[in-house]
Amino acid sequence: MTTYALTDSWTMTRRELARWGRQPVTVVVNLVFPVMLLLMFGYLVGGGRGVSGEYLDFLVPGMLALTMAFGLEGTMVAVTQDLTKGVIDRFRSMPMANGAVLVGRSAADMLQSALGLAVLLAVAAALGWRVNGGPAGFLGAVGLLLLFRFAMLWIGIHLALVAGKPELVQAVQILVWPVGFLSNAFAAPGSMPDWLGTVVQWNPLSQTATAVRDLFGSPGGEPGHVWAAVVWPLALLAVFFPLAVRRFARLSR
């Protein structure tokens, strides 16, 4: 059984890639949507409240972190679809490695998010945004963003397994917005009322955004935040990874 764990996980990842090939429009929309947000907040509504320095430099790390957070939606929708369409029953009644369904999902979602990061960074670079930190800082920042996405991924899998119904997915899709915006992605917490600023600073998304700003050498970065941006996602994973795995095993109850 375990000898097939890798093969099966790879097969399940390829299944997701094949689905991309079938829905190129959806894939493109998913990649373009954060770009749209970046342009909207960078040039249309953004004033960069409380931000010192170039707003684009502040905004890009925030948008990168927000894109990782919004990835939760996609994960949830995909898992819920599998659950409601009955295809998961076929997987579970086959002699395949048990975890491959979840591993394949994670691998494909991480790949999609990495691609999303690349597109967003390329667009930002085209707009004149530059990294002020060194290459090590850049790679570290990308690592932190993907770690944050990985935590969101397992929250998404867990929520989908708990909710199991498309209607509840919709509720989460709506809730992702205020939670995403209750962060320092677009504005500095110092510009907000005290209580709000406190809430915003505690948002794990803010931790990652601040650390990324630090590593990029952007305004709004605070040294020493890298640890918070490592610990928060790991803490979330420590809770939601076992919960999701347990939920998945409990499909047979």
Binding site for other proteins (CB under 8 A): 1, 4, 7-8, 11-12, 15, 18-19, 22-23, 85-96, 100, 251-253
CB of 77 to other proteins, least distance (A): 12
Cβ-based nearer residue to other proteins, 88 or 228: 88
Cβ-based nearer residue to other proteins, 89 or 222: 89
Write out the two tokens for 152: 């969101």
Cβ-based nearer residue to other proteins, 45 or 252: 252
CB of 166 to other proteins, least distance (A): 14
CB of 28 to other proteins, least distance (A): 15
Q: How far is CA 24 from the centre of its chain?
A: 20
Concatenating the DSSP letter of every residue in 86-101 gives: SHHHHHHTSSS-TTHH
Helix residue ranges per DSSP H, the chain? 5-22, 24-39, 55-85, 87-92, 100-126, 135-163, 166-181, 194-202, 204-216, 225-249
Cβ-based nearer residue to other proteins, 73 or 214: 73
Burial category of 119 from C-beta neighbours within 10 Å (exposed 0-12, middle 13-18, buried 19 and up): middle
Cβ-based nearer residue to other proteins, 22 or 135: 22
Cβ-based nearer residue to other proteins, 95 or 128: 95
CB of 35 to other proteins, least distance (A): 24
Q: How far is CA 129 from the centre of its chain?
A: 22
Instruction: Please give the Cα distance from 225 to 203 (Å, whole number).
Output: 13
In angstroms, what CA-CA distances link 75 with 8, 113, 151, 155, 212? 19, 11, 11, 9, 23
Cβ-based nearer residue to other proteins, 4 or 202: 4
Instruction: Please give the Cα distance from 193 to 245 (Å, whole number).
Output: 40
Phi, then psi, of 200 in degrees rounded to 5: -60, -40
CB of 96 to other proteins, least distance (A): 5
The residues, ordered by sequence, that sit 6+ positions from 155 with a Cβ below 8 Å of its Cβ are: 72, 236, 240
